[in-house]
Structure 1
Amino acid sequence: MFDKNTYTDRRNKLKSKGLKGIGLILGNGESPMNCLDNTYHFRQDSSFLYFFGLDFPGLAGVIDFESGDEYIFGDDVEIDDIIWMGPQVPLKDNAAKVGIANTAPFAKLFDVVKKAMDSNRKVHFLPAYRGENKILLEKLTGTSSLTVQKHASLELIKAIISIREIKEAQEVEEIKKACATGYQMHVTAMRMAQPGTWEQKIAGTMEGISFAGGGMASFPIILSQNGETLHNHDHSQILQEGRLMLCDAGAESLLHYASDFTRTTPVGGKFSTRQREIYEVVLATNNKATELIKPGVTYKSVHLAAAEVMAGGLKELGLMKGDTKEAVAAGAHALFFPHGLGHMMGLDVHDMEDLGQIYVGYDDEIRPSDQFGTAALRLGKRLKTGFVITNEPGCYFIPALIDKWQAEGTNKDFINFDKVNEYRDFGGIRLEDDILVTESGSQIIGERIPITPDEIEAIVQKG
């Protein structure tokens, strides 16, 4: 964990936001895989980690926004636990490490919440994404677990986002560690992209590298020859010479900060002419977006500018036609680029989206689009110094989507469907970097994973 002043300062920032009542931030518990004693690898709630720092199950934090008092609730282990787990640090000693003097058994949390509610004080809590915490909130507040999400505090959500979205220098250093591990994961995958290799072997090797670097993969690894499926977690195929392997993966640091990269590799180490042409379009789009990222610009405008680069490149290849700006305004590029340019990243790979993506990525000024493709943009608002974001344009040939648009005549003035149908077996290409928004512009975090076609071919061919 960071030093205790970090967590004290963070909680003080939250207390300065003018909220009334008490704030309840639940940690996570263990989640059984198939029986109570056989659990998934524990992952603490990110907001609890951010403000309270303790990375073990069975905890809850409370902040009294009016008195300033702070508490951690949890239970010390008993002898049966010690037999299996070994001696454990008492809760009061762990709490002191993050600057909190007040601790109590977990059951006392119910008394604190009841007292606040009986006094007509607001109990602010965050949306729960795990069933156990929805049930706990029902028991604490009396609100049904089926509807408790609707009663999450928008005031607390917005206050936390305003603090967490600006990354501290020490957070950026943690993200750099995750990026260094991600670099090793992706270069290893490139080296393994040989004909006859099982996709699962590569994905499993990458996950092992992540754990060896200090933490689990930051999300389930996407790796497939069928890159036209945007989130393809099926790793069942054997790599074939000449196909493209799309790999989207990242690592967590020991303190759970994330990285998130995508590279697309030719199996066997040689891009075909057609593959290289599309690859260069996506790479130009990625580079242009990085160039445009700076404080004060909206990420929605960067997304649309990137879409124009892609549309222009596809027009040169005969896949699109007409005026490029008009094509993007009409959403014609989304046949090939049906997702957003990127998202926030930090303690979560999609940072803070458990609090509500609409609040993380948008605000009163910048609202989401309802147009296919741009509607999937997860981050649209103005960028600020200290944001950490992803830049991940992609170009895909999705047969079902091609068929639908062609049958309906969608954007027929901008799409050369005869040419597009020649690419039905192409797959997809996505290229993703992690970006820190700086005072003067942006910088790629850590050493950039090899990205030019020549670099990637050389790595694969070396094996």
Structure 2
Amino acid sequence: MFDKNTYIDRRNKLKSKDLKGIGLFFGNGESPMNCLDNTYHFRQDSSFLYFFGLDFPGLAGVIDFESGDEYIFGDDVEIDDIIWMGPQVPLKDNAAKVGITQTAPFAKLFDIVKKAMNANRVVHFLPPYRGENKILLEKLTGLSALSIQSHASLEFIKAIISIREIKEAQEVEEIKKACATGYQMHVAAMRMAHPGTWEQKIAGTMEGISFAGGGMASFPIILSQNGETLHNHDHSQILEKGRLMLCDAGAESLLHYASDFTRTTPVGGKFTSKQREIYEVVLAANNKATELTKPGVTYLSVHLAAAEVIAAGLKELGLIKGDVKEAVAAGAHALFFPHGLGHMMGLDVHDMEDLGQIYVGYDDEIRPANQFGTAALRLGKRLKPGFVITNEPGCYFIPALIDKWQAEGINKDFINFDKVNEYRGFGGIRLEDDILVTETGSQIIGERVPIEPDEVEKIVQQG
């Protein structure tokens, strides 16, 4: 964990947001994999981790926004636990590490919530994403577990986002560690991208590198030679010469900060002329987006600029026709680029998405688009120094989508479907970097994962 003053300062920032009543923070419990005693790898709730720092199960935190009191609730282990787990640090000593002096058994949480409710005080909580915390909230508040999500405090959510979205220097250093591990993961994948290799072997190797770097993969690894499926978690195929292997993966640091990179690699180490042409278009969009990323600009505008680069490149190849700006305004580019340019990143790979993407990526000024493709943009609002974001343009040839648009005549004035159909079976290309917004512009975090086509080919060929 960080120094205890980090957590004290973070809680003080939250207490300065003029909230009334009390704020509840639920840590995560163990999650059974196939029986109660055989659990998934533990992952603490990110907001609890951010404000309370303790990375083990069975905890809850409370901040009283009017008195300033802070509490951690949890149970110390008993002898049966010690037999299996060994001696454990008492809760009060762990709480002291993050600057909290008031601790109590977990059951006492019910008393403090009941007292607040009886006094007609506001009880703020965040949207729960685990079933056990929904049930706990039902027991604490009397609200139905089925409707509890709709009762989460918007005021609380927005206050927390306003703090967490600006990354501290020490957070950026943790993200750099995750990026260094992510670099190793992707270079290893490139070296393994040879005909006859099982996709699962590559994905498993990458996951092992992430664990060896101190944390698990920051999300389930996406790796497939069917890269036209945007989130393809199927790793069952054997790589074939001439195909493209799309790999979207990242690591967590020991303190759970994330990285998130995507690279697309020619199986066997040589792009075909058609593959290289599309690759260069996506790389140009990626580089343009980084160039435009700076404080004060909206990420929606950067997304649309990247879309124009893709549309212009595809026009040169005969896939798009007409005026490029008009094509993008009509959404014609989304046949090839049907997702958003990027998202916030930090303690979560899609940072704070559990709090509601609409509040993380948008605000009263910038609202989500309704147009296909751009509607999938997770981050549209104005950028600020300290934001950590991803930049991930892509170009895909999705047979079902091509068929639908062609049959329905969608954007037929801008798309040359005869030419597009020549790319069936192409797959997809996505190139993603992690970016820090600085005071004057932006920078790629850590050493850039190899991305120039000649360099990627060389790595594959070296094996």
TM-score (norm 2): 1.00
Which secondary structure state, in structure 2, belongs to the residue aligned with residue 288 of structure 1?
helix
Which secondary structure state, in structure 2, belongs to the residue aligned with residue 181 of structure 1?
helix
Q: Residue 410 of structure 1: CA displacement?
A: 0.3
Q: Alpha-carbon deviations, 1:260-296, whole Å to 9, x = none?
A: 0000000000000000000000000000000000000
Q: Residue 18 of structure 1: CA displacement?
A: 0.2
Q: Which runs of 5+ in 2 are unaligned?
A: none
Q: Paired residue for 1:199?
A: 199
Which secondary structure state, in structure 2, belongs to the residue aligned with residue 223 of structure 1?
strand
Which secondary structure state, in structure 2, belongs to the residue aligned with residue 62 of structure 1?
strand
| Corresponding residue pairs, total | 463
Q: Alpha-carbon deviations, 1:42-87, whole Å to 9, x = none?
A: 0000000000000000000000000000000000000000000000
Q: Alpha-carbon deviations, 1:345-373, whole Å to 9, x = none?
A: 00000000000000000000000000000
Q: What is the distance in 1 between the residues matched to 2:21 and 2:373?
A: 41
Q: What is the distance in 2 between the residues matched to 1:145 and 1:53?
A: 27
Q: What is the distance in 2 between the residues matched to 1:188 and 1:248?
A: 13
Q: Residue 242 of structure 1: CA displacement?
A: 0.6
Q: Alpha-carbon deviations, 1:117-141, whole Å to 9, x = none?
A: 0000000000000001000110111
Q: Paired residue for 1:310?
A: 310
Q: What is the distance in 2 between the residues matched to 1:370 and 1:130?
A: 30
Q: Paired residue for 1:430?
A: 430
Q: Paired residue for 2:286?
A: 286
Which secondary structure state, in structure 1, belongs to the residue aligned with residue 96 of structure 2?
helix
Q: Alpha-carbon deviations, 1:181-221, whole Å to 9, x = none?
A: 00000000000000000000000000000000000000000
1:461 aligns with 2:440: no
Which secondary structure state, in structure 2, belongs to the residue aligned with residue 436 of structure 1?
strand
Q: Which runs of 5+ in 1 are unaligned?
A: none
Q: Paired residue for 1:156?
A: 156
Q: Paired residue for 1:233?
A: 233
Q: What is the distance in 1 between the residues matched to 2:438 and 2:310?
A: 25
Q: What is the distance in 2 between the residues matched to 1:186 and 1:216?
A: 15
Q: What is the distance in 1 between the residues matched to 2:100 and 2:363?
A: 33
Q: Aligned-residue CA RMSD in angstroms?
A: 0.2
Q: Alpha-carbon deviations, 1:428-450, whole Å to 9, x = none?
A: 00000000000010000000000
Q: Residue 415 of structure 1: CA displacement?
A: 0.3
Which secondary structure state, in structure 2, belongs to the residue aligned with residue 182 of structure 1?
helix
Which secondary structure state, in structure 1, belongs to the residue aligned with residue 9 of structure 2?
helix
Q: Alpha-carbon deviations, 1:5-31, whole Å to 9, x = none?
A: 000000000000000000001000000
Q: Alpha-carbon deviations, 1:280-334, whole Å to 9, x = none?
A: 0000000000000000000000000100000000000000000000000000000
How do 1:371-390 and structure 2 match up within 5 A? 371-390=371-390
Q: What is the distance in 1 between the residues matched to 2:414 and 2:389?
A: 31
Which secondary structure state, in structure 1, belongs to the residue aligned with residue 230 of structure 2?
coil
Q: Residue 105 of structure 1: CA displacement?
A: 0.1
Q: What is the distance in 1 between the residues matched to 2:128 and 2:409?
A: 43
Q: What is the distance in 2 between the residues matched to 1:225 and 1:139?
A: 48
Q: What is the distance in 1 between the residues matched to 2:119 and 2:459?
A: 66
Q: What is the distance in 2 between the residues matched to 1:454 and 1:141?
A: 60
Q: Alpha-carbon deviations, 1:389-424, whole Å to 9, x = none?
A: 000000000000000000000000100000000001
Q: What is the distance in 2 between the residues matched to 1:314 and 1:48?
A: 46
Q: Residue 457 of structure 1: CA displacement?
A: 0.2
Which secondary structure state, in structure 1, belongs to the residue aligned with residue 72 of structure 2?
strand
Which secondary structure state, in structure 1, belongs to the residue aligned with residue 268 of structure 2?
coil
Q: Paired residue for 1:50?
A: 50
Q: What is the distance in 2 between the residues matched to 1:145 and 1:233?
A: 31
Q: Residue 228 of structure 1: CA displacement?
A: 0.1
Which secondary structure state, in structure 2, belongs to the residue aligned with residue 140 of structure 1?
helix
TM-score (norm 1): 1.00
Q: What is the distance in 1 between the residues matched to 2:383 and 2:419?
A: 38
Q: Residue 240 of structure 1: CA displacement?
A: 0.2
Q: Alpha-carbon deviations, 1:221-252, whole Å to 9, x = none?
A: 00000000000000000000010000000000
Q: Residue 32 of structure 1: CA displacement?
A: 0.1
Q: What is the distance in 2 between the residues matched to 1:430 and 1:138?
A: 43
1:217 aligns with 2:217: yes
Q: What is the distance in 1 between the residues matched to 2:222 and 2:432?
A: 13
Q: What is the distance in 2 between the residues matched to 1:401 and 1:34?
A: 38
Which secondary structure state, in structure 1, belongs to the residue aligned with residue 413 of structure 2?
coil
Q: Paired residue for 2:65?
A: 65
Q: What is the distance in 1 between the residues matched to 2:127 and 2:300?
A: 26
Q: Residue 34 of structure 1: CA displacement?
A: 0.6
Which secondary structure state, in structure 2, belongs to the residue aligned with residue 395 of structure 1?
strand
Q: Residue 335 of structure 1: CA displacement?
A: 0.1
Which secondary structure state, in structure 1, belongs to the residue aligned with residue 253 of structure 2?
coil
Q: Paired residue for 1:134?
A: 134
Which secondary structure state, in structure 2, belongs to the residue aligned with residue 245 of structure 1?
strand
Q: Residue 380 of structure 1: CA displacement?
A: 0.2
Q: Alpha-carbon deviations, 1:143-162, whole Å to 9, x = none?
A: 00000000000000000000
Which secondary structure state, in structure 2, belongs to the residue aligned with residue 194 of structure 1?
coil
Which secondary structure state, in structure 1, belongs to the residue aligned with residue 460 of structure 2?
helix
